[in-house]
């Protein structure tokens, strides 16, 4: 499964960190291309450690719980590189919202419109966040390294994805408003 590679990639490219901080990375940056809950992350870290692909170091802290900082090992890097050149098919799409649209007509349209407006706002917020990352958090330097440029591509994908959603929501809201006006 690719969760392990997402973790390995983060440890390799953004540096060693604890499970807790890794979960934060997932919430903040990684979620635009890979989602994972904290339960998944902690479980996977234990398995990666068992395999010897990452190595733990317990950091004693005062005033808060100790934490375990993980680094990727040489074996881990090799395994990640092997995986990185394998082909991967497009991820299957599963969008409950589209099913809801399809059923439209069986149920009243007003709640659907409200839902589309809520989604519009959600995706707009996400888009703003990603654009902020692009310009403020990870601005491309004058002479970007290959890693900088590849990382930027993943951010571009997130921005395109959310842009597409925002635009589609606007199209859909317009359409459903017209349908409500016609029927009312």
What residues from 39 to 78 belong to the interface with DNA (CB under 7 A)? 39-40, 42-43, 45-46, 61, 63-68
122 contributes a contact to a second copy by CB under 8 A = yes
- Residue of the chain from 24, 129, 131, 151 that contacts a second copy (CB under 8 A): 151
Nearer CB in complex with a second copy: 67/97: 97
Site for a second copy in 58-117 (CB under 8 A): 77, 80-85, 87-109, 111-112, 115
Site membership for DNA, residue 33 (CB under 7 A): no
Does 94 sit near DNA (CB under 7 A)? yes
Contacts of 155 (CB under 8 A, 6+ apart): 32, 130, 133, 134, 138
**Helix, strand or coil, per DSSP, at residue 17:** strand
Name 70's bridge partners. Answer: 17, 56
Structural contact between residues 14 and 58, judged by C-beta atoms closer than 8 angstroms: no
> Smallest gap, in angstroms, from Cβ of residue 5 to DNA?
10
Is residue 181 near a second copy by the rule CB under 8 A? no
d(CA 101, CA 99): 5
Q: Which CB atom, from 76 or from 176, has the smaller least distance to DNA? A: 76
The answer to the question of residue 146 lying near DNA (CB under 7 A) is no
The phi, psi pair for 72, rounded to 5°, reads -80, 140
Minimum CB distance to a second copy, residue 160 (Å): 5
Given a contact cutoff of 8 angstroms between Cβ atoms, the answer to whether 112 and 176 are in contact is yes
Distance CA 53, CA 70 (A): 10
Which listed option, DNA, a second copy, none, makes contact with residue 38 (CB within 5 to 8 Å by class)?
A: DNA
């Amino acid at each position: 499964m690719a969760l392990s590679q997402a973790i390995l990639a983060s440890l390799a490219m953004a540096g060693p960190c604890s499970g807790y901080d890794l979960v934060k990375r997932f919430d903040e940056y990684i979620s635009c291309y890979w989602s994972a809950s904290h339960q998944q992350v902690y479980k996977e870290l234990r398995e990666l450690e068992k395999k010897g692909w990452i190595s733990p170091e317990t950091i004693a802290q005062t005033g808060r719980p100790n934490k375990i900082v993980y680094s990727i090992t040489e074996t881990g890097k090799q395994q990640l590189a092997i995986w990185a050149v394998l082909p991967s098919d497009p991820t299957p799409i599963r969008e409950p919202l589209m099913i809801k649209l399809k059923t439209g007509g069986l149920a009243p349209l007003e709640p659907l419109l409200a839902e589309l407006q809520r989604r519009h706002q959600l995706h707009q917020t996400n888009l703003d966040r990603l654009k902020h990352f692009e310009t403020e958090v990870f601005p491309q330097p004058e002479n970007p390294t290959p890693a900088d440029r590849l990382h930027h591509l993943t951010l571009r994908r997130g921005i395109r994805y959310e842009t597409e959603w925002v635009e589609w929501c606007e199209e859909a809201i317009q359409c459903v408003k017209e349908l409500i006006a016609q029927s009312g």
